[in-house]
Structure 1
Amino acid sequence: MPLSVHHLLLLLSVVVATVSAHNITDILSSNPDYSQYNSYLTQTKLADDINSHQTITVLVLTNAAFSTVAAHHPLSVIKKLLSLHVLLDYFDPTKLHQISDGTTLSTTLFQTTGTAEGNVGSVNITDLKGGKVAFGSAATNSKLDSTYTKSVKQIPYNISVLEISAPIIAPGILTAPPPSSDLNLTALLENHGCKTFSSLIVTTGVIKTFQSTVDKGLTIFAPSDEAFKSKDVPDLKKLTSAEVVSLLQYHAIANYLPVGSLKTSHDSISTLATNGAGKFDLTVSVAGDSITLHTGVDSSRIANTVLDSTPLTIYTIDSVLLPTELFATSPSPAPAPESDVPSPAPASAPAPVADAPSPDIASPPAPIGKSPEDSPAEAPSHAADSTEKGAGVHVKGSAVITGSG
């Protein structure tokens, strides 16, 4: 093979390796000394978050160093601790020894959770005399109790993995959050502008489904109050009770899915409304830091993270999610289904709808529950199908989350 071609292929392989998504679990799996640390990255879903970032530094600990804290704390605390060891910047050994003025502060994944006060979510990196580099919490009066040990892996300037000698402990980082049983879900939703959604899950009993699911993992997508005011939202009073329950359950997933997990999700995701009669699933698209949920009828952007505490995640979203099983998309123009018929009759085809009060094609799909007789003869009756599917949903009854203030 000519030398020039060989160099070209080598260059291409470097470019591909640089732009390809990194996988932190694969990087650490080659060294058994990091097996415990690696396992917890997977359990807490932080691995997904790390893999979703284009520029990041992971400070890893050996099993001996990590077990000193991991053995005495629940998963929710371990996740906070681990997230403090993930820097949202690129630091390789060379950069560590070239820190301006000898000290710098770096933001971590813990800072992005919204629960870190002041500088608690940042790490102090100080280049000490004698070639040592120390790490500690950026919070006031915190000690630099950890030092750089060795380099594990670098993909410039994508990901750097560095081993440090001891865990970085920030004030309050080892404090466990309130248990799920003490969480007032309705108050939390109301305080974040989701009073309508909160009221609906209480009056329909869907909150009990959430309560019975949370301990094994639960993600809630709560539409804001403004979302329910949109002209595209069907009149819920015209839905059956079973259909309203399915609609609300469609806004939750029986799995713990923090932002990183959503960003790396490529397959359709089942919801609490999923049953034998209907898929009731969602798909996710990502553009930078923006995450959008797609139903097949509409889409909604995730606006804010209300809570991310293993095993529960709550997001607010901009629009009410409308599943295809309950709401069929209206073809445009309306007579399109009859356009393939050779007869000139399409103009009279909508006659059976004449009794309907407002055949406005720009309005939301016809409410569930309209009989097939009210639909055009040649159009499929999605409403009738969805009524049967919605009726099969049942609400569980055990209580975990407090439902009222």
Structure 2
Amino acid sequence: MASTPLSLILITLNIQLLLLSLQTQAQTSAPAPSPSGPLNLTAILEKNGQYSTLIRLLQETQTDTQIANQLNNSAQGLSVFAPTDNAFNNLPSGALNGLTNQNKVLLIQYHITPKYYSLTNLLTVSNPVPTQASGANGNWGLNFTGQGNQVNVSTGIDSTQINNALRQQPPLAVYQVDKVLLPEELFGAKSPASSPTEAKAPSSSSNNSTNTSAPSPGTSAGGRNVLGLGLTLGLGLACMGAFS
């Protein structure tokens, strides 16, 4: 049995050492995977387009900052129902401009639930599902119905189908809606204000009765003149009888 030449053994060892060195260098030079950054709702909306009005309102009301803080500090997550630009364009004229700044905050908060829901979860929730908007009577709610892959959301004023999941991964779900979700607390029918009671003008019949019942100055004076003349004639006749 022929012995392996020493030179061949050395060559094999050198090759193995070279391969090990190259592998070590590759592992050292490769950048470590960077940790995923904080979730950014605005960036998600911008990536998908057609949400410029919603983005503007999120920034104006500072709800985008509130959402970022909640995602970093809450284990429950969030679900956002994002109306498209067309949804805002289809609102009645002046609907947004007629809201106070506080009511704009409430409108945006009404599109956010303080819990993560997948589409499957939304089919089995107990309605109404509380949103982040609230008033004197507690949180304002949304109602979800549907079957299969179709989920509808309603407010009591309007309803629409959830057509697209922009993101569906804990702790944040973002769903497209083609209508602005209008809470009854802001857009519900209001009873018309009662008009102030008007002072009633005197009726013509009242004037007539007043004028009829009041004695006429002329008639009263005439009566007194006739009575005086009668007394004078009576006294004259009596005197004539006495001297006759």
TM-score using structure 1 length: 0.37
Q: Which residue of 1 aligns with 2:132?
A: 272
The 5-angstrom pairing of residues 232-247 of structure 1 reads 232=92, 235-247=95-107
Q: Secondary structure at the match of 1:238?
A: coil
Q: Which residue of 1 aligns with 2:42?
A: 186
**CA RMSD for the aligned pairs?**
2.4
Task: From 299, 315, 318, give the equivalent of 2:175.
Answer: 315
Decide whether the 8 Å contact of 2:78 with 2:116 is kept in 1.
Answer: yes
Decide whether the 8 Å contact of 2:123 with 2:147 is kept in 1.
Answer: no
Give CA-to-partner distance per residue, 1:118-164, whole Å, 9 cap, x none.
xxxxxxxxxxxxxxxxxxxxxxxxxxxxxxxxxxxxxxxxxxxxxxx
Count of residue correspondences: 159
Task: From 65, 72, 88, give the equivalent of 1:208.
Answer: 65
Equivalent-residue separation in structure 2 for 1:212 and 1:233 (angstroms): 34
Judging changes above 3 Å, is the alpha-carbon distance between structure 1 residues 196 and 257 closer, same or farther for their aligned structure 2 residues? same
Amino acid at match of 2:69: S
Judging changes above 3 Å, is the alpha-carbon distance between structure 1 residues 274 and 199 closer, same or farther for their aligned structure 2 residues? same
Q: Which residue of 2 aligns with 1:290?
A: 150
The 5-angstrom pairing of residues 2-401 of structure 1 reads 178-179=36-37, 181=38, 183-192=39-48, 193-215=50-72, 216=74, 217-232=77-92, 235-329=95-189, 375-377=192-194
**Offset of residue 207 of structure 1:** 1.1
Q: Secondary structure at the match of 2:145?
A: strand
Decide whether the 8 Å contact of 2:132 with 2:139 is kept in 1.
Answer: no
**Offset of residue 232 of structure 1:** 4.0
Give CA-to-partner distance per residue, 1:276-309, whole Å, 9 cap, x none.
4443111101043211111111112111101122
Equivalent-residue separation in structure 1 for 2:194 and 2:44 (angstroms): 47
Give CA-to-partner distance per residue, 1:35-66, whole Å, 9 cap, x none.
xxxxxxxxxxxxxxxxxxxxxxxxxxxxxxxx
User: Which structure has the bigger radius of gyration?
Assistant: 2
Equivalent-residue separation in structure 1 for 2:187 and 2:34 (angstroms): 42
Amino acid at match of 2:194: A
Equivalent-residue separation in structure 1 for 2:54 and 2:118 (angstroms): 21
Identity %: 33
Amino acid at match of 1:187: A
Amino acid at match of 1:199: R
Decide whether the 8 Å contact of 2:40 with 2:68 is kept in 1.
Answer: no
